Amino acid sequence: MRDDENRCGKNPGMSSDLEIARNATLLPIAEIARRACIPEAALEPHGKYKAKVSLDFVRAQEGSKQGALVLVTGISPTPAGEGKTTTTVGLADALNAAGTRTIICLREPSLGPCFGVKGGATGGGHAQVAPMEEINLHFTGDFHAITSANNLLSAMVDNHLYWGNEVGLDPRRVSWRRALDMNDRALRQIVASLGGVGNGSPREEGFDITVASEVMAVFCLARDLADLQDRLGRMVVGARRDGSLVTARDIKADGAMAVLLRDALAPNLVQTLEGNPALVHGGPFANIAHGCNSLIATRLGLTLADLVVTEAGFGADLGAEKFCDIKARIGGLAPDVCVVVATVRALKMHGGVAKSALGTEDVAAVERGVVNLARHVENMRKFGVPVVVALNRFTSDTEAEIGAVRIAMERLGTEAVLCTHWSDGSAGAADLAQAVLARIGEGRFAPIYADELSLPEKIGVIARDIYRAGSVAIAHAAEVKLARIAKQGFGHLPVCIAKTQSSFSSDPTLMGAPEGHVLTVRDVRLAAGAGFVVAICGDIMTMPGLPRRPAAESITLDAEGMIQGLF
């Protein structure tokens, strides 16, 4: 029995997420567009229930009055599950039900997690975006376009080297990596161009998962097509012998890459199971990338609705910090309220309880584990944003355990709102919606560090103020790279920390709210096109591997050709 089969009143005999989604009656996408104030003429339909919104319409909305912005994030994730996407959808449905015109802005699921651990990423129960199967799999082809653009640049780099290397790129200093939207540890480090002179000169390289690629980051941070091509052109592919940088523009690849991404850059419009509009577009990971949906979709939503509910990936120390310090800084955004999602079950795991024992009441474990939630709440307040806690209920939760969470949050001056949107849809998030509306207008948002700080200082601020590290240990090679990056004129950029999602530290075994630990930075990468510098910490990999029992083992087609196993 899956974990969420105990959630929100669900019993073992009840429907799965896939069954609930498949049995829902969806509205024609033109009707969803009408509800979002998007004319049908601005739609480029992809079937009956999903469409792209034309970039001409997006451009026409620039300068329009903007609504409020709610950022949904969570505690440090555990195998028990927290439900950020489910809460995002349930909250938006509840806000619409209360008469507040609301649009959801979410990331697109990656095939890697769908076939690896998650099995799907469109919410759950009666709080989902749909069509669930299509969104979780190929959707409108955006990720395929991003993967193709990334690998076109790889092909053009190798081709440039083969045909005389006019720009003087040092083959030993090629830093550009290929991409694939699948977990495949065997491709992390490879040797390319074997087989003789006709195949080029052999060299080491590797693959990143598409959602960790710089092309994905550029795609999600570009304001329009012109900005997209400019950012693509600025991406660094390597260096010459003298250390000067070679870019995609030097290789003359930026134009063709932009062509591959032109149609994908238009935001995708879908719906919730309750018929409310959702823009699902872009999808960088939050542990190894910046973890937020596309800037184009978020800005469009803000011009069309009174309120936009968006989600940042993994815990607030990752996705939410990057939303505030990277996406908001680059895009001129300011979240009005932050919702931190937690579950009693996950807090018990942070308190030291094994997953197999989560069904047994353990108030002491909740009290030990709630420090993780408290830390995330405290951190988000440092950005000047008011915080509401959404306690996503499971049927195994007891009143005493729920009470322990509420008491801990009351001590922080924060409201913990019990939610049952998984089973009850919008009605189960009505109290959360009212709590969010009550906090709009209270905040004064600001990033936690200034552009003028040095790159090591920016890493230090995040390590100290967000992770509560006692110190930062930057490997000598990474120190040299940071100094070189600053000398090359990129010292003003924000930093994107790539680290484990399981802990505030770079050690995934340190659960709860560790303090005084050492954040280890083993490498750094310049993402000049995206506009940030990546600090790679601990053992984090930019190409994940599949787990021992990947979700793909349970995903199949039945006798009627229907998909089974997505959840």
Go through 372-384 and write b for each residue having 16 or more CB atoms within 10 A of its CB, e for each that does not. Answer: bbbbbbbbbbebb
Which residues are 519's β-sheet partners?
472
Q: What pLDDT, on the 0 to 100 scale, is given for residue 15?
A: 78
Residue 553: exposure state from Cβ atoms within 10 A (0-12, 13-18, ≥19)? exposed
Residue at 561: amino acid letter: G
Residue 17 is predicted with a pLDDT of 87
Please state the separation of Cα 427 from the chain's center in Å. Answer: 27
Q: CA distances (Å), 337 to each of 118, 354, 388, 408, 450, in order?
A: 27, 33, 8, 20, 22
The 8 Å CB, 24+ separation contacts for 478-487 are 478/521, 478/522, 478/523, 478/524, 478/535, 481/523, 481/524, 481/526, 482/455, 482/456, 482/524, 482/533, 484/243, 485/455, 485/524, 485/526, 485/533, 486/454, 486/455
pLDDT of residue 11: 43
Tell me what pLDDT residue 524 has.
97
Cis preceding-peptide flag for 267 (omega within 30 of 0): no
What secondary structure, in 3-state letters, does 147-206 show? HHHHHHHHHHHHHHHHCCCCCCEEEEEECCCEEECCCCHHHCCEEECCCCHHHCCCEEEC
The pLDDT value given to residue 81: 85
In angstroms, rounded to a whole number, what is the distance separating the alpha carbons of residues 171 and 164?
12
pLDDT on residue 291 = 95
Q: N- to C-terminal Cα distance for the chain?
A: 12
Q: What are phi and psi of 393, to 5 degrees?
A: -85, 140
Domain boundaries along the sequence of the chain: 3-25+66-135+265-439, 142-261, 455-537
Tokens of 554: 């349970």
Q: What is the fold, at CATH topology level, of the domain defined by 455-537?
A: Formyltetrahydrofolate synthetase; domain 3 (3.10.410)
**Torsion angle (degrees, nearest 10) of CA 82, 83, 85, 90:** -140
Catalytic residues: 84, 86, 107, 118, 286, 314, 394, 422
Q: Are 270 and 140 in contact (CB under 8 A)?
A: no
Residue 111 · residue 566 · CB < 8 Å = no
Residue 2: the pLDDT is: 30
Q: CA dist 409 to 8, 363, 396, 469, Å?
A: 21, 15, 21, 23
Please give the model's pTM, rounded to 2 decimal places.
Answer: 0.95
Q: Is 350 helix (H, G, I), strand (E, B) or coil?
A: helix
Cβ contacts of residue 357 below 8 Å, gap of 6+? none
Number of H helices, E strands in the chain: 20, 25
Torsion of CA 156, 161, 162, 164, to 10 degrees: 120
Contact call for residues 69 and 308 (beta carbons, < 8 A): yes
Q: pLDDT averaged over consecutive 10-residue blocks of the chain (567 residues)?
A: 37 72 94 97 97 98 93 95 95 98 97 85 94 95 98 97 97 96 96 93 94 98 98 98 97 98 98 98 94 97 98 96 98 97 97 94 97 98 98 96 98 96 97 98 96 98 98 97 97 97 94 96 97 96 93 92 87
Does domain 142-261 fall into CATH 3.30.1510.10? Answer: yes
Superfamily of domain 3-25+66-135+265-439: P-loop containing nucleotide triphosphate hydrolases (3.40.50.300)
Do 238 and 173 meet the contact criterion of CB atoms below 8 Å apart? yes
- Are 473 and 481 in contact, with CB atoms under 8 Å apart? no
Which residue do the tokens 């026409």 mark? Answer: 60
